[in-house]
């Protein structure tokens, strides 16, 4: 918190007079002036007392990190209820317990990521997660992929503020354009469905629902006290609500990266332009499984492509689609891939480009220009798997979603086609 | 080549007298003394003449990078045959054309990876690939995961030396312990099956077969001139041959990382020990889909676990399996996870450990000790997703396969259980 938070911090600890150079107070009641948020990191048994002090002080919100509540079963549930009743009496709202709390880089508020190097650069991605690990990893792995965040909330046991409450808040939050969630169990199914339906028409909601299997449900119960419930029912709720579903953390991040693209594909016809033959084969295999089509391009388009690369590449074995450029000398790479991307986008709904091209500001800006002119998504795979992390983040930040492998990119494109269909079917 | 190769290099170019500070020769015939290997990077039309010079010089092997052969169809096939006939007349063996060639770090031979920072550290992983991108990415992405290589061959059109020839070589190669392949099409199905059966009893063969779908087959034909053939038939060949199959590049690398573990699981009963509740839920979900079991541990084992963490962690919500430790103070982390790993391995066939523990030499060595004593695999997931790349590579290098997410680790463990069953069923 000290590295970014612009407001005032008051450590509270009955045994210390100073903590990390800040004056420490014996109790919340001793803090001078009002308090907006209390971050509670004390043993579970002391939490009710802390909550009582919060109430007397008129604190509006508390993040309760402490574990040892409803996730432990009956006895813990009693303690959680005790804490909650005290809070409700005074009007204090609680996030948690058994949670990591908040990451709101816009105001430098961060109780989740213990990482000094993470810059407090705000963005438009929100995340709600019933897991500290998922919340933290979503931020860290997403950050490296170019994602920037509006609000991240690790919600824990949802004793007071539930995922539905927070969804309602994020629906109205102008900073938030995409909402991602990790959910083990929901408490108010009907409300969730209603909210999802409303929100998904304006903002994509991407959900990793865990606790899908018998043992998974047992594990979820002891993790966040969640009643994971029937997976088939929840899947139907998500589908009906227009939510996009992920099966794991990487897929969740991939999907969010994809949806940062400001345009949706209007159909499932894809142009695949590669500098690797195996990339073409892998893309074709994946498309067939995912319901995406790689149509053979009209002869004029093929001729246009041949004309564009004339004199640059020695052989052009396949320009039907997938289009295999084989290899372009580095000095021509950016120009050729930009030119060819524009040509093929005339005939398809979206393009997947896979190249060794250097991912610099020029290339990124030009690709963005083509995407905006054609109003069609362009997804990018860097053939140079390990050396362009800065470039990958650069492209994704500009809404040219970038991935390691064609399969991962295509899975996301397929989800975008479905979402696009959902929006058209539920429009008006 | 100049950064690592210990032998002598002779550039050949009729127009230059010096290349990169080395004396250049007008023709292969002008090189003083014998030549072991010629790397051919000239336009396709000139290749037959170069091959003829190789023959006259008595060159044993040539890597032909050039494109414009059978991958272009009939006309290219004629040129490829012409090149081949010349080579066969003189006994020169060819890798390629349309390939990236060789990476043999043991002798500093590298025509694949244009990366100075890749150290010439040899290992026991071999790779055969019908793709330059896959060969290069397999090396680069695998290297970061801790894999080290014996021989990597980008085989291209397989005009002369085929994947079957190279498999035969790698079967006998003492440096090679695991063989990974990217295959678009095989030329000698029966021989492949026979070889796979022989080899897979001693060394795991892990195959990503691409060109599985209609469009994929079309793309493969124009990529390496491969007749991808019927996927169902090839899948049956792979299964019967005891090969392990991957669906994409990341899965291929994950599987190889997994098989560096020197012991195989003797059954499908898994212990899951986590510092993240969501990790437990995600693992449980994945296991059910993958046919792995997470059995409830005997009461004595649960008590042993409780005793081990007493006084260290405030709550222990689930010690049945998956075992959720919730959070361990960093100073106790390594000790607690080592202790608990050993305890649970008594009752299961393999362990998945997911923790925030610092991945240092001490922790790695101790985990290896437990694995060797118990003769059971230990897989590791670092909860700290982005900050421990060195540690991840350290653990994997010692045969404690390490992954980003539980789902990816468990997919590999499931493949190892199948392989282990295959070996027992085909033993004697």
Domain positions in chain A are: 18-95, 101-259, 270-425
Tell me whether B314 touches chain A (CB under 8 Å). yes
Q: Tell me, what's the pLDDT at B175?
A: 97
Q: Do the chains contact at A216 and B383, CB–CB below 8 Å?
A: no
What are the pLDDT digits (tens) for A25-42? Answer: 999 999 999 999 999 999
Contacts of B156 (CB under 8 A, 6+ apart): B64, B95, B96, B97, B98, B99, B100, B130, B224
Q: Tell me, what's the pLDDT at A73?
A: 80
* Helical segments of A327-382, H only: 330-345, 361-374
Q: Which residues of B touch A68 (CB under 8 A)?
A: 314-315
Tell me whether B231 touches chain A (CB under 8 Å). no
State the pLDDT confidence band at A115, using cuts at 50, 70 and 90: low
Mean pLDDT over A153-160 rounds to 94
Residue A224, pLDDT > 80, answer: no
Mean pLDDT over B9-15 rounds to 95
Compare CB distances from A68 to B182, B315, B386 and report the shortest one's residue.
Answer: B315
Mean pLDDT over B27-35 rounds to 96
- Give the A window 120-159 contacts with B, CB below 8 Å: 129-134, 136-137, 140-141, 144
Residue B319, pLDDT > 70, answer: yes
Task: Return the H-helix or E-strand segment holding B36.
Answer: none
d(CA A252, CA A8): 35
What are the pLDDT digits (tens) for B383-404? Answer: 987 656 778 888 988 999 999 8
Compare CB distances from B280 to A132, A223, A249 and report the shortest one's residue.
Answer: A223
Contacts of B259 (CB under 8 A, 6+ apart): B178, B204, B206, B244, B412, B416, B419
Q: Tell me, what's the pLDDT at B4?
A: 79
Q: In this structure, which topology does domain A18-95 adopt according to CATH? A: Rossmann fold (3.40.50)
Q: Tell me, what's the pLDDT at B318?
A: 81
Reference A252, options A156, A126, A380; nearest CA is A126
Q: Tell me, what's the pLDDT at B301?
A: 96
Task: Tell me the CATH architecture of domain B270-425.
Answer: 3-Layer(aba) Sandwich (3.40)
What are the pLDDT digits (tens) for B155-183? Answer: 999 999 999 999 999 999 999 999 999 99
**Quick check: do B101-259 and B270-425 share a fold?**
yes
The answer to whether A271 and B209 have CB atoms below 8 angstroms apart is no
ipTM: 0.92
3-state secondary structure A213-282: CHHHHHHHHHHHCCCCCCHHHHHHHHHHCCCEEECCHHHHHHHHHHHCCCCCCCCCEEEEEECCHHHHHH
Residue A228, pLDDT > 70, answer: no
Q: Tell me, what's the pLDDT at B254?
A: 97
Tell me whether A211 touches chain B (CB under 8 Å). yes
Residue A75, pLDDT > 90, answer: no
Mean pLDDT over A374-399 rounds to 87
Residue B194, pLDDT > 80, answer: yes
Q: Which residues of A touch B76 (CB under 8 A)?
A: 315
Q: Do the chains contact at B385 and A140, CB–CB below 8 Å?
A: yes
Contacts of A153 (CB under 8 A, 6+ apart): A95, A101, A102, A127, A128, A129, A135, A166
- Rounded to the nearest angstrom, the gap between the alpha carbon of residue A278 and the centroid of all alpha carbons in its chain is 29
Q: Do the chains contact at B315 and A67, CB–CB below 8 Å?
A: yes
The Cα of A374 is separated from the nearest Cα of chain B by a number of Å equal to: 26
Q: Tell me, what's the pLDDT at A185?
A: 80
Residue B282, pLDDT > 90, answer: yes
Q: Tell me, what's the pLDDT at B117?
A: 57
Q: Tell me, what's the pLDDT at A117?
A: 57
Among A382-386, B189-193, B341-345, the range with the most confident prediction by mean pLDDT is B341-345
Confidence (pTM): 0.94
Q: Residue A146 region, left (φ>0) first, then alpha (ψ -120 to 50), else beta?
A: left
CATH 3.40.50.261 fits A101-259, yes or no: yes
Half-sphere exposure of B379 (CA within 13 A, CB side): 29
The phi and psi torsions of B55 (rounded to 5 degrees) equal -60, -50
Of A204-213, B79-88, B106-115, B191-200, the poorest mean pLDDT is in B106-115
- The number of beta carbons lying within 10 Å of the beta carbon of residue A173 is 16
The phi and psi torsions of B12 (rounded to 5 degrees) equal -125, 120
């Amino acid at each position: 918190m000290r590295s970014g938070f612009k407001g005032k911090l008051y450590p509270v600890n009955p045994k210390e007079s100073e903590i990390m150079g800040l004056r420490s107070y014996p109790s919340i009641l001793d803090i001078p002036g009002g308090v907006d948020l209390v971050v509670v990191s004390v043993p579970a048994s002391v939490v009710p007392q802390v909550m009582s002090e919060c109430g007397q002080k008129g604190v509006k919100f508390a993040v309760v990190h402490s574990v040892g509540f409803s996730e432990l079963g009956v006895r813990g549930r009693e303690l959680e209820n005790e804490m909650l009743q005290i809070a409700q009496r005074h009007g204090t709202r609680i996030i948690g317990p058994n949670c990591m709390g908040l990451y709101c880089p816009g105001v430098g508020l961060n109780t989740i990521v213990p990482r000094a190097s993470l810059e407090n650069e705000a963005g438009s991605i929100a995340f709600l997660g019933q897991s500290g690990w998922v919340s933290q990893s979503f931020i860290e792995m997403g950050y490296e992929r170019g994602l920037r965040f509006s609000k991240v909330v690790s919600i824990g046991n949802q004793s007071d503020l539930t995922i539905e409450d927070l969804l309602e808040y994020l629906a109205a939050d102008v900073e938030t354009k995409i909402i991602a969630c990790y959910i083990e169990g929901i408490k108010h199914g009907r409300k969730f469905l209603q909210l999802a339906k409303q929100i998904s028409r304006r903002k994509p909601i991407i959900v990793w629902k865990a606790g899908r299997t018998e043992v998974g449900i047992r594990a979820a119960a002891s993790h966040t006290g969640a009643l994971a419930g029937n997976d088939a029912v929840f899947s139907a709720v998500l589908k009906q609500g227009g939510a996009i579903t992920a099966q794991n953390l990487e897929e969740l991040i991939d999907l969010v990266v994809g949806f940062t693209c400001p345009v949706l594909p209007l159909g499932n016809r894809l142009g695949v332009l590669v500098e690797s033959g195996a990339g073409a084969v892998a893309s074709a295999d994946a498309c067939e499984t995912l319901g995406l089509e790689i149509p053979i391009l009209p002869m004029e388009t093929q001729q246009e492509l041949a004309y564009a690369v004339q004199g640059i590449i020695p052989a052009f074995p396949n320009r039907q689609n997938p289009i295999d450029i084989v290899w372009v000398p580095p000095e021509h790479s950016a120009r050729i891939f930009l030119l060819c991307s524009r040509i093929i986008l005339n005939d398809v709904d979206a393009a997947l480009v896979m190249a060794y091209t250097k991912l610099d500001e020029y290339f990124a800006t030009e690709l963005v220009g083509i995407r905006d002119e054609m109003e069609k998504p362009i997804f990018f795979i860097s053939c140079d798997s390990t050396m362009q992390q800065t470039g990958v983040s650069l492209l994704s930040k500009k809404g040219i979603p970038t991935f390691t492998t064609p399969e991962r990119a295509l899975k996301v494109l397929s989800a975008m086609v479905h979402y696009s269909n959902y929006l058209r079917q539920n429009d008006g």
